[in-house]
Structure 1
Amino acid sequence: MNYPKISIVTPSYNQGQYIEDTILSVLGQRYPNLEYLIYDAVSTDNSVTIIKKHENELTYWVSENDNGQSDAINKGFARATGEILMWLNSDDILMPNVLHFIAEQYIEKGDAIYFGNCIHFKENMNSGLYASGSNVAESFNTIPLELIDTIIQPSSFWSKKVWLQNGILDNNFHFGFDWEWFLRAKNNSIPFYSINKPISLYRIHDEHKTGTGGKQRQEELLKIYKIYSPKYAKLYKLVKNENFNLSLGEKVIFRVCKLLPTKGFNRISFLKMIKYKKYKKYTIAEIEAIKMML
């Protein structure tokens, strides 16, 4: 088999307790035509020490100031020479034998974005391991990408041609730049191929950027909604400003409604019922999806 070169970029900043798992998951693929680049943003923990430990197996690494995660990834892809690209954050992990599988998909189907399933996990010394799976293919085919980001980034690859056609990541975004890039690709009519296979392990931890973005992340996502779906931008603003705490009277009505033989009745359906004029243009599923993005 003539293995196409795969280039993987890992942006890194102060993830010393996780980055070796990331590095080993890439090198452990033993893919014969791998280009692995790490861009560290001058970490102050032991990240650089761990990177140096593996530098003989890396194509390139550097520790230098950047303008954020997306900037580091753009730098990496500017240097990358592979036919297939992806980035893997320094707290995520590739599943075994993934690169050979992706190469086969690319050889068979050509230039496109390939995305698969993911296993989310969180390690807790007190309660053990939490893990959950995903059915990304079903989500992508049933939920508009403009409504919610159904593609899990560490489980996605694409060809160099697609990267050049779609353009670099937008450095103005620090939380939703991957979602914006996928939405841009959809608008550019780039093919998406789903893979019914777990591609990566997505680590959940207290320092995870998605969970610590707060108001800044919400405002950024609103900007993306405004660019790609004004309809959902309005819904996002409504849900973002919604008070989901029920008054005493509403709690009584809610409990009575739950006793009725109504399938799937929950707080969101109750919210739409009591605020029908406010949410009449949106389905319960759309409101629930938007709430997940907060």
Structure 2
Amino acid sequence: MPLVSIVTSVFNDGQHLEKTIRSVISQSYECIEYIIIDGGSRDETLDILSTYADKIDYWVSEPDRGIYDAWNKALSVANGEWIAFLGSGDIYLDDAVGEYIRYIQNSACEREFVSARIEITNPVTEKGWIFGDAWNWQEFKKNMTVAHPGAFHNRRLFQRYGMFDASYRIAGDYELLLRAREKLRTGFLDTVTVQMLGDGASTNLEVFRENYRAKTVSGGRNRFICYLEEKRKWWSIAKHHIPKSCSLGRNQ
């Protein structure tokens, strides 16, 4: 039974953190190491962490440079063969971790990255939608098509391609996976494993700037083509008010 390290980064999100913790510690799969990195919260987050301290294998509360810096801190102490990042406010469904491990153990090929589908819920409208497709380089090089909150990373992935680039604030998970390009060894669990707390529509230009940088630098793609792709996406979201499909699960 491989050890799974589950990482949650949080900052001033005491309102939602407890349900995330409870979803992890209630998993039927027992070989779990739970790590929580807090960015120096000033709300009830620390009270919650203290309450569940005996259920958390490692936690720390100190200022950091953002979510990817926090994730890198977690990677430096994680012992798991597989590592997952579950945002504060997001929850694993019953036996989700067990489903990943059964899929991995039944796979004939070596995997570096295994994703699934997630259900994103808008806290205002309470409407949900399903996000996450199987990894495909021809689509992935254009857009983040996989559900990162519903993904498992083998330790080999970080050994081969490095840790997260903390200069990113939004697209660092996408950038990391782009480094492998078409060589990424992936698997897909065709089921919903995570319920994610979405935050509605976003036209934040920083999202598109970071996607552009990741695709051109780490993905090695043509700058003009990537510019047109991101501009088209921005206009589509602004025009149709399309819900944001991925959240970092942390209040920065």
TM-score (normalised: structure 1):
0.73
Match of 1:72 in 2: 70
Answer 1 or 2: higher relative contact order, Cα 8 Å, separation at least 6: 2
Return the letter of the residue paired with 1:239.
R
Counterpart selection for 2:172 from 163, 177, 200: 177
For the 8 Å contact 2:177–2:184, the answer to whether it is kept is no
- Structure whose residues are more often helix by fraction: 1
Is 1:152–2:147 an aligned residue pair? yes
For the 8 Å contact 2:119–2:192, the answer to whether it is kept is yes
After TM superposition, the structure 1 = structure 2 runs for residues 35-184 of structure 1, keeping only pairs within 5 Å, are 35-109=33-107, 110-124=110-124, 129-134=126-131, 136-137=133-134, 140-141=135-136, 144-184=139-179
**Structure 1 residue 141: Cα displacement:** 4.4
**Structure 1 residue 239: Cα displacement:** 3.1
Q: Deviations over 1:120-179 (max 9, x none)?
A: 11233xx5x211123523xx4496101110011111002112221121011111100111
**Judging changes above 3 Å, is the alpha-carbon distance between structure 1 residues 13 and 135 closer, same or farther for their aligned structure 2 residues?**
closer
For the 8 Å contact 2:142–2:229, the answer to whether it is kept is no
**Structure 1 residue 292: Cα displacement:** 8.5
Return the letter of the residue paired with 2:142.
L
After TM superposition, the structure 1 = structure 2 runs for residues 242-261 of structure 1, keeping only pairs within 5 Å, are none
Is 1:194–2:191 an aligned residue pair? no
Return the letter of the residue paired with 1:132.
W
Return the letter of the residue paired with 2:184.
I
**Judging changes above 3 Å, is the alpha-carbon distance between structure 1 residues 238 and 50 closer, same or farther for their aligned structure 2 residues?**
closer
Q: What is the RMSD computed on CA atoms of the aligned residues?
A: 2.9
Determine helix, strand or coil for the equivalent of 1:66: coil
Determine helix, strand or coil for the equivalent of 1:7: strand
**Judging changes above 3 Å, is the alpha-carbon distance between structure 1 residues 84 and 240 closer, same or farther for their aligned structure 2 residues?**
closer
For the 8 Å contact 1:147–1:232, the answer to whether it is kept is no
Determine helix, strand or coil for the equivalent of 1:144: helix
- Dislocated runs of 4+, deviation >6 Å: 240-245
**Structure 1 residue 115: Cα displacement:** 0.4
Looking at structure 2, the residues matched to 74 and 241 of structure 1 have their Cα atoms a distance apart, in angstroms, of 30
Is 1:4–2:14 an aligned residue pair? no
Looking at structure 1, the residues matched to 98 and 119 of structure 2 have their Cα atoms a distance apart, in angstroms, of 19
- The number of residue pairs the alignment matches comes to 239
Return the letter of the residue paired with 1:121.
T
Return the letter of the residue paired with 2:176.
W
**Structure 1 residue 85: Cα displacement:** 0.6
Determine helix, strand or coil for the equivalent of 2:117: strand
For the 8 Å contact 2:5–2:79, the answer to whether it is kept is yes
Q: Deviations over 1:74-120 (max 9, x none)?
A: 11011001111111111211111011111222223343210011111
For the 8 Å contact 1:143–1:150, the answer to whether it is kept is no
Match of 2:207 in 1: 217
Looking at structure 1, the residues matched to 23 and 12 of structure 2 have their Cα atoms a distance apart, in angstroms, of 19
Return the letter of the residue paired with 2:42.
T
For the 8 Å contact 2:111–2:186, the answer to whether it is kept is no
Match of 1:278 in 2: none
**Structure 1 residue 237: Cα displacement:** 5.7
Q: For structure 2, which runs of at least 5 residues remain unmatched after alignment? A: 247-252
**Judging changes above 3 Å, is the alpha-carbon distance between structure 1 residues 142 and 132 closer, same or farther for their aligned structure 2 residues?**
farther
